[in-house]
Structure 1
Amino acid sequence: MAEGRGSGEMMQAGPSLRDQGSDAFGEPVEREVELDLAKYWAMLMKHRLLIAGSVLAAVVIGLVITLLTPPTYTAAATVQIDREATRVLDSEETGAADLRFSMEFFQTQYGLIRSRSLAERVIDSLGLAGSDAFIEQMGGEFEAREGETAAQQMARRREMVIDLIADGLDVSSQRDSRLVEITFSSPSAAVSARMANAIAENYIQSNLDRKFDASLYVREFLEERIAETKAKLEATERQLVQYADDQQIIRLEDSTNAGTGAQRSLAANSLSTINEALSQARVDRISAEERWRQARGASLMSIPEVIASPAIQAMVAQRVAVEAEYQQKSSVLQADYPEMVELQNRIDELDSQIRSLAVSIRDGIRAQYEIALNQERALQSRVNGLSTDVLDLSDRSVEYNILLRELDTSRQLYDGLLQRYKEVGVTGGVTANNVSLIDRAIAPKTPSSPKLPLNLALAFVLGLGLGVVAAFLIEALDDSITTPGDVEEKLGLPGLGNIPLLAKDEDAISALRDVRSPFSEAYYSLRTALQFTTSHGAPKSLLLTSARPGEGKSTTAFATALNLSRTGKRVLLVDGDLRNPSMHRVLEMDNSQGMSNFLSGSAELQGVVRKTPFATLDFIPCGPLPPNPAELWSGDRLQVLLDQALAIYDHVVIDGPPVLGFADAPLLSSSVEGTLFVLESRGTGRRQALGALRRLSFARGHVLGAVLTKFQANKTRNEGYDYSYDYDYGAKSSSEVKGRKS
């Protein structure tokens, strides 16, 4: 026996995420969203015919297009593009090396191959502008227009050929290499090979032409610049010479920087020379002054110059000899002896000469000091005079220096331009090229397109993708409540039961009498689920309502009351739909008196209760239809009914009216212990159900859960869900009569 699931949905394992959803009343709540792969697979199985049809249609269309597409032949010529051309001379230009070592260089080359100028060069080299054969071979057709001149027709033909070449041309590089494939596609294999080779050859030649044109342009540019610089250099030299002559500025080459071209003025050179002499004179004066200071304060014979004088030393030696002779003879002769007197006179004479020579040496030291002092003063005076001249010359040399710097700059620029012109003249004839042809294109044997297997595979993938997208879109736009899982997912309510759809030849009463039927078993499962909705079991007072009429609400109310009574409980079934009652027709009872009489106060409970064929189940019909049912329900008689009935019965089950458009159901829901929400499978929309639940919530009604009626398990199983109602004792599925008023 298949019991109803308490949650009403299949739980599939999978990774969970946090997501913002909504509860049964549309309020945003955060909940876990499970990545349910089985659910997605079931959805795909549900729309498998749509997906299969999309795949089949795409494959058929792909096959037709492939068979109708004319074959295209592709030929490829391979060229090598070096990042830098072979350097023949050291002076060759390498300024673009940084660019060539980047991908920008190769992208530039690809752009040159696809350029309009190269296409025009190919057209001119092959004479394609006037060739109708080439246009026809490329699958085009040229039609002359009335009133066009020959020149206009030729221009339009040329534009057509350029467009055909651009459409057929493609450029691609081989990975991790400098080899580039130039491919051309056309309906003719011979044309493809001829055009690929022509494009490669013209690209190589155009690269050489650009180099030659660039060299020629540089030479012409340098010639103009050299002429301008030379004229400016000559004018600056004349202006400099004229200014130097006017200001009497004489410049000499600086000997300290010989060979560098540095110049100094005559006054500056003289000042430098005299200043060096002054420095030396100052040194000499200081030395002479020091010698004179020492000689002036010392005794004559202690002066170092006197002691070092050879004449003084000779006279001192001579005196020592005479003194020695005098002393030797003094022991024999008297002092007044003529020979002794003569020796004494010679000694005195030598002393006088020595002193006189020492004085002369000291005077010479003083004379040297005075000469050095005078010389220093004279040089200092000359330096002072030249300094004034140099400062004055500096004031007059400001403009001269400006002209001189301008002359030096012009001379350097002229020399550089002249040297560069010579280098360009030498390298201009060098024809080294960084592009070379590696493999010529040959006519292909087989067409490159269309490729039937590839096209069919792409069509299959495209059709599958479109079918899956369509399936997801249909599911996203499907707002109906179809499966028990939708009850929990779309409404946030627990699913208390799933009631199968009866066959057209069966009615609800007969199906409920057969306790083994899937229909009866489903309501048994609903009764079991109700046992767990409150702490004391099934609610004492229970309202059954739906969003709209015709969802099986009345049948569910009767079945719920019947199954509760089968447990031995006393149950009162109340037809609370005072607008469109149907329960009295289901039970085939009189409707002359009922709830409308009790609510209006014209009858009591015992007067409106009817016995049913079921022992513990009593019934209160609707009674006469009142003009305003909402006013009756809003009175206090409803609570009186519930109090009196629950004093006699264990359960009161009210078959209420639909929620949308009426105030009856919210009033009833606020008075009973629990409300059971009835939904028709594939009939009730999510927004419609949420609107009804929101109204019940505003009335403070306690919605226990939802029951899904008219559920077609066989269709759901085909769609990938498994809600089985097959039983071991072979009960067959039955169906509730469609169109019957619940």
Structure 2
Amino acid sequence: MDKDDMLQLTSPGWVDRPVENGRQHGEPMVLAPPPLLQYWQIVLRWKWIILGIIAAAFTVGLIVTLLTSPQYSATSRIEISREQKKFTNVEGVDSPISDRDLEFYQTQYSLLQARSLAERVARTLRLSTNEEFFAAHGVDLSGSLFTSGAAQKSGAAETARREKMAVDLLLDHIAVSPVRGSSLVDIRYVSGSPTISAQIANSWTQQFVAQSIDRRFASTTDARQFLEGRLADLRVKLETSERDLVNYAAQKGIVALGRTKDADGRTQVDRTLVSSDLEALNAALATATAERIAAESRAHQQSGGANADALSNPTINDLRQKRTEIAAEYAKLMVRFEPDYPSAKELAQQLRTVDAGIAREESRVLNSRSSDYQSAVLRENALRRRVEQLKSGLSRQQQDSIQYNIYQREADTNRQLYDGLLQRYKEIGVAGVGANNIAIVDPARVPDSPSSPNFLINLALALVAGLGLAAIATFALNQIDEGLRDPTQVGRILQVPLLGSVPTSEGSDTLTELQDTKSALSEAYLSIRSNLAFSTDHGIPRALMVTSTRASEGKSTTSFALAMVLGRTGKRVLLLDADMRSPSMHSFAGLPNVTGLSNYLAGADNWHETLLETPSRGVTLMPSGPTPPSAAELLSSDRITTLIRQASEQFDHIVIDSPPILGLADAPLLTRAVEGIVFVVEADGVPIRGIKTSLARLQAVHAHVFGVVLTKLQSRLSSYGYGYGYSYGYGSNDRDA
């Protein structure tokens, strides 16, 4: 392996990995460029079209801005509350839940843009007869029927037409913009007059508030009429039911002292005069019975025993206290004296006197028990008889109360209905009295400067529109132009290895650049030769064919350049011009084309006589020879295979310049005589579908394609890294070795 092969092995573009996306073992891996770089390449490719579209859009935007009449925008702001504020705590006809619905604000926004509101504003401001209003919107009414002789005949029709036109103009120029996250709404009106804009914006909000109030009051009219009829009927029923109730109570002697209401709100009679008397007498009877039992208990106690009356009698308690004191003094004297002692006798006499007094008092208490007991028995019996009498009267009254309660419930029901309807009737009358839920926050002011056209914004929009149109046009053109534009597309689209890329020749003479080892063109083909060294297991193929999809893609130049590069390495190279329909190799070498391949294929025995030495080192040329009547018939014979086999014994490499593939049978016939094919593709040339068709023809004859050489590539439009020449650090000795 030569030095160039060693240099390629150490370059960073080579990897040793298994086959991936059509790339074989040992082939260079070409990564796709970043998306931004791809977009930049597309922009550079179509830059003049992009700049033209942007300039045209910018110019149109400038002209439209300068020709547009100034428009003035006036904005008023209102607040729409969910809950209606009221001075009175009175419910209206509408349900209060309706203000809390999710659709509430959307309904209000729609009402702000309703045609009925626009008609109301038009009538209030008399816009149908306001010439300034129509002039502010660019409407010329100078030729209307109002200024002609037929005005009297068609005045009504013209008025209706103007009113409709005014309403349409209002709806077209009004804008409702809710303030996000709040209950505020901006109403903006735009026209050619600042005064008209402010006037209509303010009138719009005022009429919206008035319309809301009118709508709320109008909704109560039907309800009031219905309630009036119902109240008249209920009034008669209430009077009748109350009269029946009073007459029945007087007839049965029912005097109600207390009433309560049940769960349904109906009145029930709890206490009457009879039940109240019975309750009081029954309580007195219970008390008398208890007193009689207590008196009887006291009467049955023994006379000498201690009882509650005696214990609670203050006289007896005082006497007993006095006896205790005397007894204590008497006991003290008995300690020192005899009972006959005068003082002792006196104390003993006092004890006897006190004991006699206690006995008299206890006797008096026992005598009073009997009289109390008799009195209690008499009182209890009298109360019991009265209670029995009241029980009989109450029983009869309870039976009468059943019908009484029926009359009472009917009267209560009628009264409840009447009171409810009467209250509702009164409430509806004042339901609209209160603060409206719509309030004007900021009235519109007459604008000082026009809101449109905005010079900078319009130019920015024109620029954005131009960029958008340019992007669409670039995308469309980029899709229509299907040629390969970047080396990275070869592996991704064709699934074929990339051998190398050849830049566009900067000079006028391609041969001169190929002979200059320092040129970018020569460096490109040197890189391709090095890549071919890895296409087979024995290095550079012994016999290879160079072909393309169509003519003028750089096929012949590539054949000649590969032969020159191989010859520089000291190899013996045979350059075989097999394009007998349009030969060109002899002109590259500056040699005649008298005899050549066609002579040998036609039957000549000595092919060595057709060989010509070229000025290039190590390169021998076999021209195509005279143009045969049918090149395909000559190539279909076995003589071409024999020629390649015999030439391989004398030359290290054979490079065949083949005709294009599409439309000809020559190239597929030549594939059976070579190891493989170098396929040349012109950048931005043949559409991808044509390239794939050519590769499919080669695959159909089982030809081996070593890879693709992308020619005529403009480096400024590609992301592929060029830098051919000495910028890579190659020395002249390395290339000439």
Match of 1:468 in 2: 471
Residues 487 and 260 (structure 1 numbering): CA distance in 2 closer, same or farther, change over 3 Å? closer
Q: Is the 8 A contact 1:6 1:496 kept in 2?
A: no
Q: Distance in 1 between matches of 2:513 and 2:166?
A: 82
Match of 1:150 in 2: 155
1:496 aligns to 2:499 (yes or no): yes
Task: Give secondary structure in 2 for the equivalent of 1:191.
Answer: helix
Deviations 1:145-180 (A, max 9, x none): 697822211111011100111122122223333222
The one-letter code sitting in structure 2 at the alignment partner of 1:158 is E
1:72 aligns to 2:71 (yes or no): yes
Task: Give secondary structure in 2 for the equivalent of 1:654.
Answer: strand
The one-letter code sitting in structure 2 at the alignment partner of 1:428 is G
Offset at 1:57?
3.3
Match of 1:682 in 2: 684
Offset at 1:6?
8.4
My pick for the range that moved more, 437-446 or 189-198, is 437-446
Residue among 210, 220, 241 paired with 1:205: 210
Q: Distance in 2 between matches of 1:447 and 1:666?
A: 75
1:696 aligns to 2:695 (yes or no): no
Q: Distance in 2 between matches of 1:424 and 1:196?
A: 38
Match of 2:644 in 1: 642
Q: Distance in 1 between matches of 2:232 and 2:160?
A: 44
The one-letter code sitting in structure 2 at the alignment partner of 1:570 is R
Match of 2:618 in 1: 616
Q: Is the 8 A contact 1:552 1:678 kept in 2?
A: yes
Match of 2:360 in 1: none
Match of 1:425 in 2: 426
Q: Is the 8 A contact 1:587 1:612 kept in 2?
A: yes
Q: Distance in 1 between matches of 2:469 and 2:500?
A: 36
Offset at 1:2?
13
Q: Is the 8 A contact 2:75 2:189 kept in 1?
A: yes
Offset at 1:117?
0.9
The one-letter code sitting in structure 1 at the alignment partner of 2:496 is L
Offset at 1:201?
1.4
Match of 1:131 in 2: 130
The two structures, once aligned, show a CA RMSD in angstroms of 4.1
Match of 1:116 in 2: 115
Q: Distance in 1 between matches of 2:192 and 2:4?
A: 68
The one-letter code sitting in structure 2 at the alignment partner of 1:476 is Q
The one-letter code sitting in structure 2 at the alignment partner of 1:202 is Q
Offset at 1:92?
0.7
The one-letter code sitting in structure 2 at the alignment partner of 1:163 is D
Q: Distance in 2 between matches of 1:222 and 1:204?
A: 28
Task: Give secondary structure in 2 for the equivalent of 1:40.
Answer: helix
Match of 1:38 in 2: 37
The one-letter code sitting in structure 2 at the alignment partner of 1:652 is I
The one-letter code sitting in structure 2 at the alignment partner of 1:210 is R
Q: Distance in 1 between matches of 2:125 and 2:12?
A: 74
Q: Is the 8 A contact 2:128 2:163 kept in 1?
A: yes
Deviations 1:240-260 (A, max 9, x none): xxxxxxxxxxxxxxxxx9989
The one-letter code sitting in structure 1 at the alignment partner of 2:221 is L
Offset at 1:427?
2.7
Match of 2:332 in 1: none
Task: Give secondary structure in 2 for the equivalent of 1:572.
Answer: strand
Offset at 1:725?
4.4
Q: Is the 8 A contact 2:564 2:617 kept in 1?
A: no
Offset at 1:63?
2.8
Match of 1:447 in 2: 450
Offset at 1:206?
1.0
The one-letter code sitting in structure 2 at the alignment partner of 1:217 is D
Offset at 1:638?
2.5
Offset at 1:213?
0.7
Residues 623 and 120 (structure 1 numbering): CA distance in 2 closer, same or farther, change over 3 Å? same
The one-letter code sitting in structure 2 at the alignment partner of 1:449 is S
Residues 465 and 414 (structure 1 numbering): CA distance in 2 closer, same or farther, change over 3 Å? farther
Residues 193 and 545 (structure 1 numbering): CA distance in 2 closer, same or farther, change over 3 Å? same
Residue among 526, 530, 541 paired with 1:528: 530
Task: Give secondary structure in 1 for the equivalent of 2:430.
Answer: coil
Q: Distance in 2 between matches of 1:223 and 1:470?
A: 75
Match of 2:595 in 1: 593
Q: Is the 8 A contact 1:74 1:189 kept in 2?
A: yes
Match of 1:279 in 2: none
1:435 aligns to 2:441 (yes or no): no
Task: Give secondary structure in 1 for the equivalent of 2:129.
Answer: coil
In structure 1, runs of 5+ residues without a counterpart are 12-20, 25-30, 238-256, 263-403, 732-742
Residue among 221, 239, 247 paired with 1:216: 221
Residues 32 and 586 (structure 1 numbering): CA distance in 2 closer, same or farther, change over 3 Å? closer
1:172 aligns to 2:171 (yes or no): no
**Following superposition of structure 1 onto structure 2, how do residues 533-552 of structure 1 map, counting pairs within 5 Å?**
533-552=535-554
My pick for the range that moved more, 517-526 or 564-573, is 517-526
The one-letter code sitting in structure 1 at the alignment partner of 2:163 is R
Q: Distance in 1 between matches of 2:102 and 2:6?
A: 68
**TM-score, with structure 1 as normaliser:** 0.65
Q: Identity over aligned residues, as a percent?
A: 38
Q: Distance in 2 between matches of 1:172 and 1:220?
A: 40
Q: Distance in 1 between matches of 2:64 and 2:42?
A: 32
Offset at 1:639?
2.2
Residues 416 and 601 (structure 1 numbering): CA distance in 2 closer, same or farther, change over 3 Å? farther
Task: Give secondary structure in 1 for the equivalent of 2:188.
Answer: strand
Q: Is the 8 A contact 1:73 1:447 kept in 2?
A: yes
The one-letter code sitting in structure 1 at the alignment partner of 2:518 is R
Task: Give secondary structure in 2 for the equivalent of 1:457.
Answer: helix
1:188 aligns to 2:193 (yes or no): yes
Residues 420 and 638 (structure 1 numbering): CA distance in 2 closer, same or farther, change over 3 Å? farther
Residues 137 and 425 (structure 1 numbering): CA distance in 2 closer, same or farther, change over 3 Å? same
Q: Distance in 2 between matches of 1:521 and 1:590?
A: 29
Offset at 1:34?
6.9
Deviations 1:84-104 (A, max 9, x none): 212455551486443322442
The one-letter code sitting in structure 2 at the alignment partner of 1:656 is S
Task: Give secondary structure in 1 for the equivalent of 2:220.
Answer: helix
